[in-house]
Amino acid sequence: MTFHRAPLTNHHPDSSLCPPNHKHTSSGKPLHNDCPGRSYSQVICTCGTWQFKGPGKGYVNESRKRHLATHTPPTPTGPAVLRGLLRLDLP
């Protein structure tokens, strides 16, 4: 089964990756001494056909969730289907 992911990453004004331990205010101003601030957030889906980039982390994350919801889970096959059909809860 293939599950798609779209990790959210934050980036500095020079497009370098902002590490997760660099905390920011909601407007992107740095709370870490060595951080120039968050310029934009970006998500790239593992499906390979979708990516989104924007200045607002909340909106980018909301778009990420909406996109991931469009991926229908694959139909299970094999033993997983059989386990679902077996009733092991009988007294």
What's the mean pLDDT in 16-22?
Answer: 88
pLDDT of residue 21 exceeding 80:
yes
Q: What is the model's pTM?
A: 0.70
- Mean pLDDT throughout 43-67? 94
Cα(45)–Cα(40) distance, integer angstroms? 17
Q: What is the mean pLDDT of residues 39-48?
A: 94
What backbone phi and psi angles, to 5 degrees, belong to 69? Answer: -70, -20
Instruction: Output the pLDDT for position 74.
Output: 66
- Band (1; pLDDT cuts 50, 70, 90): low
Q: What percent of the chain has pLDDT over 90?
A: 47
Can you tell me the distance from the alpha carbon of 75 to that of 57, in angstroms, rounded to the nearest whole number?
33
Q: Which of 6, 41, 46, 7 is nearest to 22 (CA)?
A: 41
Higher pLDDT, 76 or 56: 56
